[in-house]
Amino acid sequence: MLRRYQDLSDLYNLNMDNSSNHIYPVIWHKQKDCVLLIDQTRLPKEYSVVEIDRYEDMAQAIKTMIVRGAPAIGVAAAYGMYLGAREITTSDRQEFLQELDTIAEVLRQTRPTAVNLFWAVSRMLRTAYEFVGSVAELKDILLTTAQTIQQEDLQTCQAIGDHGLFVLPKTPAKVNILTHCNTGSLATAGYGTALGVIRSAWRENRLQRVYADETRPRLQGAKLTVWECIQEGIPVTLITDSMAAHCMQQNMIDLVIVGADRIAANGDTANKIGTYSLAIVAQAHNVPFYVAAPFSTIDFKLVDGKQIPIEERHPSEIYQIGNTEICAKGTEFYNPAFDVTPARLITGIITEKGVIAPQDLINHKS
Ligand code: MRU
């Protein structure tokens, strides 16, 4: 059952710091025994939370982008696995694992590009398969594993933020950073990847201003990144995606930092549609172009970016602005949600283990 809350007083009873600069898109609510998700489809107009206690609802929330952003989807899917596990009634281990496999498949079918989803589901399955003990105990272990994945992602993002400070040029003293889509607290367990680096730069007094691409067609930059920056008083200017080249030509941008949804072993990076053109524009203007992402976003099984599955979404994301249709009847559409930036356009990948040249990534495969 998916319930919506607009009175968020409940959130403040949780064991999490919900002061304005701590935004957690996914919260395990111990007392209610369910997951709370900030509904990202309603921000910035409305800050509401939905309550999720069934895995099918979690799958639907991921599909409809109530929760979105590669690492946040991973965390949500991990909790989805637990919610599904606790619905299984058998105490027979083999039957339980079979049913858990089916739940995993439903969650895997939600969004194809962000590898963190598949990574988190596999980790939950591996935990289940390796656990020795009763089914009842295993269910508890799965909840603990989902919480661990969430906690680890938070720490990972903070480490990415710290490592990211090393890529900031020495001059000017305060830099202008251009970013794309939303890679902040909302897109992760908290803190963010590219926006995490921006947060760290702001904290260290190294940030002049963030330029946020609006990120057509779903406008995660305009709706989410700007909202997050405003929550923390980070100076932010919204531009349309097509203004990035002009801003670079005007020397307004010192570096670009974006997130990633899947990185192949050779460093080719899938990220929100528009990232590739941004990388080309950055190279044309000699502006360093960095990707910030956790290791859980790297898919070492893929040799290069050609193998990354690209999600196509409903054309209404293009032909409608709000509820208004803007195109002539009979218009045909193509709506890929991601593109692949070749490794040669990427200056470095900022990870929790440090900043890595894309061609060096393979040497960090553990
Ligand atoms: O379609 P979304 O909003 O889930 O896509 C998310 C992104 O592409 C983000 O920009 C990001 O780089 C990955 S999440 C840190």
**Of 39, 213, 241, 261, which residue is the catalytic one?**
261
Query: Contact at 8 Å (CB) between 335 and 313?
Result: yes
Report the Cα 171 to chain-centroid distance in Å: 30
Mean pLDDT, rounded, for 338-356: 98
Give the closest residue (by CA) to ligand 1 atom 14.
69
Mean pLDDT, rounded, for 202-206: 97
Quick one: pLDDT band at residue 366, thresholds 50, 70, 90?
A: confident
Non-local (6+) Cβ contacts of 106 within 8 A are 55, 56, 59, 84
Q: How far is the CA of 52 from the centre of ligand 1 (A)?
A: 22
Instruction: Based on the residue annotation, tell me whether 261 is a catalytic residue of this protein.
Output: yes
Q: Measured between alpha carbons, how far is 242 from 103 in angstroms, rounded to an integer?
A: 41
Residue 2: predicted pLDDT: 56
pLDDT of 345 higher than 60: yes
Q: Which of 39, 157, 179, 183 to mutate to test the pocket of ligand 1 (most atoms within 8 A of CB)?
A: 183
pLDDT tens, 248-275? Answer: 999 999 999 999 999 999 999 999 999 9
Give the closest residue (by CA) to ligand 1 atom 5.
69
pLDDT of 287 higher than 70: yes
**142-170 b/e (C-beta count within 10 Å ≥ 16 → b):** bbebbbebbebbbebbbbbbbbbeebbee
Mean pLDDT, rounded, for 208-219: 98
- Whether ligand 1 lies within 6 angstroms of the CB of 260 is answered as yes
Q: Measured between alpha carbons, how far is 9 from 28 in angstroms, rounded to an integer?
A: 15
Q: How far is the CA of 114 from the centre of ligand 1 (A)?
A: 8
Q: Measured between alpha carbons, how far is 179 from 350 in angstroms, rounded to an integer?
A: 14
Q: Which of 63, 317, 352, 180 is nearest to 37 (CA)?
A: 63
Q: Are strands 49-52 and 324-325 parallel, antiparallel or unpaired?
A: unpaired
pLDDT tens, 129-180? Answer: 999 999 999 999 999 999 999 999 999 999 999 999 999 999 999 999 999 9
Q: Which of 181, 188, 199, 263 to mutate to test the pocket of ligand 1 (most atoms within 8 A of CB)?
A: 181
Residue 21: predicted pLDDT: 52
pLDDT tens, 88-125? Answer: 999 999 999 999 999 999 999 999 999 999 999 999 99
Q: Which structure tokens are listed for 174?
A: 């305060």
- Whether ligand 1 lies within 6 angstroms of the CB of 308 is answered as no
Q: Measured between alpha carbons, how far is 67 from 169 in angstroms, rounded to an integer?
A: 34
Whether omega for the bond prior to residue 315 falls within 30 degrees of 0, making it cis, is no
Q: List domains and CATH numbers for the chain.
A: 2-158 (1.20.120.420), 163-364 (3.40.50.10470)
